[in-house]
Amino acid sequence: MFRRSIRTEMVNDIKTNVNIIDVREPAEIKATGSIKGSIKIPMNQIPSNLDKLNKDEEYNILCQSGNRSLQVAKYLHKQGYQVVNLMGGFGAFRGKIDYEL
């Protein structure tokens, strides 16, 4: 597991097939938007949604500032998943924002 700065080109280029898991609460996403195509699973629901994830793929974990996503990334890493914590979180994202849940 490692940390990566969030890059606009990483998530805006559909050809990169980047998996982003947004672990913020639905109310946060509704208020501030999200990255189009991100998988939205609130932090407290991650353990019950492991069956939706593939251990052969890499997941970029995102929250608002990077703290919750770091906790989730550590948890997923211990479960055998390939994960990256996106430093700075959604607050550092400067790309196109999607307001659909």
Q: What is the pTM of this model?
A: 0.85
- Whether 11 has a pLDDT exceeding 80, the answer reads no
| Tally of structural domains, the chain | 1
**Which CATH number characterizes residue 79's domain?**
3.40.250.10
> Residue 63 in contact with residue 22, Cβ under 8 Å?
yes
* pLDDT (tens digit per residue) in 36-74: 889 999 999 999 999 999 999 999 999 999 999 999 999
Range of the domain at 85: 2-92
Q: Is 37 a catalytic residue?
A: no
Residue among 11, 43, 62, 63 flagged as catalytic: 63
* 21 located within any domain: yes
Let me know if residue 76 belongs to a domain.
Answer: yes
Lookup: tokens for 3: 């940390």
Which positions ≥6 away from 78 have C-beta within 8 Å?
Answer: none
